[in-house]
Structure 1
Amino acid sequence: MPVITSARHMSLQDMVPLLNHQQAAKVDVVAPASALRSVDGTIELFGVTPVVDDRGVTAVDGRYRPTGSADGQIAAKLDIPVRYLRRLRDDARLDLYDSNVNGLLHGRADVADPEPDDRSFLLRLFTAPTPDQPGVLRALLSDRYGIIDNLDVLAAVLDGIHAVDVDAEIRSCDLTESSMHCKVYAPQMSALAPTFLAHYRTPFANPELEAERQRVAGHLERVRPIASAEGLGYEPGCEPVVFAGFRFSNDETGHRAVTLTPEVVIQICGNGLTMPMFSSTRRHIGDQLEIGQAWSQDTYRKKLAVITAETRDKVAEWLSAEFFTARVEELEHQAATPVHQPERTMEVLTKRLGFTETERAGILSHFIAGGQLTAAGIANAVTSYSQTVPNPVRADSLDDLAVQAMSLV
């Protein structure tokens, strides 16, 4: 069965078996440039020592098809313009793709001293499901890259949550070719935000917008177990309730790191308003590895222990009444600024915050559907629109811009 590399809006119960399936297919190897060559746009390894680990002996010689992310890393490592290399693949000019990659890996074939690349690289791979198929080249990285796998990060973060003894649940999970993104909330840590949610209705009551959210979820059933609160003087299901929460992500292929970010979760629609100014980031940097060298399990366990401890400390801070109350008060203070010209406001925000034209139009649609003609309506439109964005990395970036968008109104 081929490895699934991308999925959106999963439950924890969906995510864990998917990560376990990936884990079984993963293999990491440090190889010299001389052991790599490009053949019809795939990267072939040859003469590489098999990997020996607790699963046994895994032969790694063979072909691996680069992901889009890995193509970008090949371009960066070999100083090839990334748009050029991707265009060669898109235009089926794999002969030129091979010539560029091989020429820079092995040097010129028409001279006595070809000056080949003398570096070694860490290759993160998925083995092929059958011998007649290529595997997947997930990443071509520095031999100093510190591996921390998604499944282990997930376990470390859950351990950190349990250490604080907080009633917190993972409400949504996303996966891309390179990264994992999970959202956590505390159903018992709630507050009213009547100004921030004044006159707000979920945009997903609009069937077209709900269809967009479901479209990016694919075949997986969307699970957002947000608890309801009653007896607060509002129509049941429409109370202006927000919950404390946070988001965490991990990148396995070199682009980012383990990142923790607090957020405020909106009950009626599942919007997550993040507070990036409080983010905590741990980058993947390790000791240089020799060719064929195995990763130290003791060192790996220590890295995970640091992630667990950091999660414990951040959860204790971010899911505390003091922190949560202060963030809600800040949102309430900025929320009521009126928006008299929505289209003009979105034009200004698009220029200031770098939204694409597609994003501008989508956020404006969510703003109108939300029925909230205030700065808070802009923030809520950004975070509801982000749920319809196929790429979780961009969706997280949009959530990070919501508070700033509100402050610019």
Structure 2
Amino acid sequence: MSVITTARNADLQDMLTMLRDQQAAKLDVVAPATALRSRDGAIALSDVEPVVDENGVTVVNGLYVPTKDADATIAAKLGIGLKYLRKLRGERPDLYDANVNGLLHGRSKRSATGETTMLYPADERSFLLRLFRCQDSERGVLRALLSDSYGIIDNLDVLTAVLDGIRQADAEVQIRSCDLTESSMHCKVYSPTVAQLAPHFLRGYRNPFYANPDLEAQRREVAADVDRARRIARADGQNYESGDEPIVFAGFRFSNSEIGDGAVTIKPELYVKICRNGLTLPLLGIRKMHQGVKMEQGSVTWSRDTQNKHLAVITAQTRDAVREWLSPAFLATQIEEIDHLAGTPVPEADKTIKVVAKKLGFSEAERDGVLSHFIAGGQLTAAGIANAITSYSQTVPDADRADALDDLALSAMALVK
């Protein structure tokens, strides 16, 4: 059975199971560019020593199919336009191979006398390849082609470190949902005991998912499967009447990128439980880059001491952040600060949202989606636009993009004049 690489709105236990399965399937190797060759759009590895670990002896040489995100890292490392590379993968795998192999191995010319002249030298770099072992076939999965100085901090370790920080802070919390993409993990946490009325921010707001059944159907579609969607609905269990209980809970999110920008991020969040909207406060967040050192060629094994030092920092930062962010004083201060923007009227919704969407770089589909949620929410104010963005994001299948949209909700509210 292949490992699961993506999930939306999973619970904590599901996430732990998926991450443990991924951990067992992972391979990390450092190889010279000359050990890589593209073949029918897959990356063939050769002359790489087998990996010996708790799973036994694993032969690394073989074919690995790049994921969509892996193609992005190949494009970045080799200086190929990503749009062009993806077009070749879909339409001309022979040219995909030619571009990748030409840049990795260079090009030489043989004269009539037998002399070889190097026209373009081979790439002299080594790369870190993040892989999944072959499961049901002879092909594995290439997750990323990265610098051989990339700092590895895995999702399972980050999740464990954050949970330890929560324990040390002695905070009563609930993990409300977890998302997994090919590149990142996102988890959302809130405290059911730290809550405050937000009558200005939620004045006139109705749950758009109850007001418009089509929007609720879209939100359910992003769940990993029907059973999970049903569990989420049962766990939510609120069924508030429209306009009731304008309560905001203190919360935070944490995320980690195993193959992307190489960072652990923790940021506070205001959680509106009536509709599961999450208004993040990215400017107050903590971002820890994965700091690495140049690695030798071969399989990558980090010492437990090195890992513990990295994770101890994350645990301590989480503990301190939880103590600050999950406090009544912090929650009251944040609600007070957004309340002065919340009531700005939006008389021309379509025009206003077009302007906001353009300034914040929304796609046309995102702009239309936010407008639908704004209308269904019935809150004709700047707060209504923020709430429309954070409810629309719940219907976006791409968890990375959904998280980015939530980060823009406060900025959108500030743009309303």
* TM-score grouping bracket, smaller chain normalisation: over 0.9
Among residues 183, 186, 197, which one is paired with 2:188 in the alignment?
A: 183
The residue number in structure 1 matching 2:164 is 159
Distance 2:161 2:378 in 1: 41
Distance 2:90 2:213 in 1: 35
Q: Does 1:298 align with 2:305?
A: yes
8 Å Cα contact 1:32-1:119 kept in structure 2: yes
The residue number in structure 2 matching 1:252 is 258
State the one-letter code of the partner of 1:223.
Answer: I
Q: How does 1:2-401 map to 2 (within 5 A)?
A: 2-91=2-91, 93-110=92-109, 111-113=116-118, 115-130=121-136, 132-205=137-210, 206-219=212-225, 220-221=228-229, 223=232, 225=235, 238-292=244-298, 294-401=301-408
8 Å Cα contact 2:206-2:242 kept in structure 1: no
Distance 1:23 1:322 in 2: 39
8 Å Cα contact 2:350-2:371 kept in structure 1: yes
Once the two structures are superposed, residues 62-112 of structure 1 have per-residue CA deviations (whole angstroms, 9 ceiling, x without a partner) of 000001111111111111122111110121x11111111111111104353
Distance 2:140 2:283 in 1: 40
Distance 1:183 1:294 in 2: 30
8 Å Cα contact 2:252-2:269 kept in structure 1: yes
Distance 1:327 1:223 in 2: 28
- How far apart are residue 334 of structure 1 and its match? 1.7
State the one-letter code of the partner of 1:101.
Answer: V
Structure 1: 5+ residue stretches without partners: none
How many residue pairs get matched? 403
Distance 2:254 2:209 in 1: 25
State the one-letter code of the partner of 2:404.
Answer: S
Once the two structures are superposed, residues 368-404 of structure 1 have per-residue CA deviations (whole angstroms, 9 ceiling, x without a partner) of 1001111111110010000001111111111111111
TM-score norm. by structure 2 comes to 0.93
State the one-letter code of the partner of 2:269.
Answer: E
Q: 1:294 to 1:235 in 2, by over 3 A?
A: closer
Distance 1:216 1:49 in 2: 41
Distance 2:138 2:321 in 1: 44
State the one-letter code of the partner of 2:256.
Answer: N
- How far apart are residue 223 of structure 1 and its match? 2.5
SS of residue in 2 equivalent to 1:4: coil
State the one-letter code of the partner of 1:46.
Answer: S
Once the two structures are superposed, residues 151-174 of structure 1 have per-residue CA deviations (whole angstroms, 9 ceiling, x without a partner) of 111010000001000001110111
Distance 1:26 1:183 in 2: 25
Distance 2:302 2:121 in 1: 30
State the one-letter code of the partner of 2:98.
Answer: S
Identity of aligned residues (%): 61
Once the two structures are superposed, residues 113-162 of structure 1 have per-residue CA deviations (whole angstroms, 9 ceiling, x without a partner) of 352111111000001113x4311000100011111111111010000001
Distance 1:254 1:48 in 2: 24
Please provide the CA RMSD for this pair: 1.8
Distance 2:378 2:232 in 1: 25
Once the two structures are superposed, residues 307-351 of structure 1 have per-residue CA deviations (whole angstroms, 9 ceiling, x without a partner) of 111111111111122211100111222211111111111111012
8 Å Cα contact 2:205-2:243 kept in structure 1: no
Distance 1:349 1:237 in 2: 26
Distance 2:326 2:238 in 1: 18
TM-score norm. by structure 1 comes to 0.95
Distance 2:393 2:94 in 1: 39
Q: Judge which range, 118-127 or 286-295, deviates more.
A: 286-295
- How far apart are residue 297 of structure 1 and its match? 2.1
State the one-letter code of the partner of 1:185.
Answer: Y
8 Å Cα contact 1:167-1:187 kept in structure 2: yes
8 Å Cα contact 1:228-1:237 kept in structure 2: no
State the one-letter code of the partner of 1:257.
Answer: A
Distance 1:146 1:218 in 2: 30
- How far apart are residue 256 of structure 1 and its match? 3.9
- How far apart are residue 55 of structure 1 and its match? 2.9
SS of residue in 2 equivalent to 1:112: strand
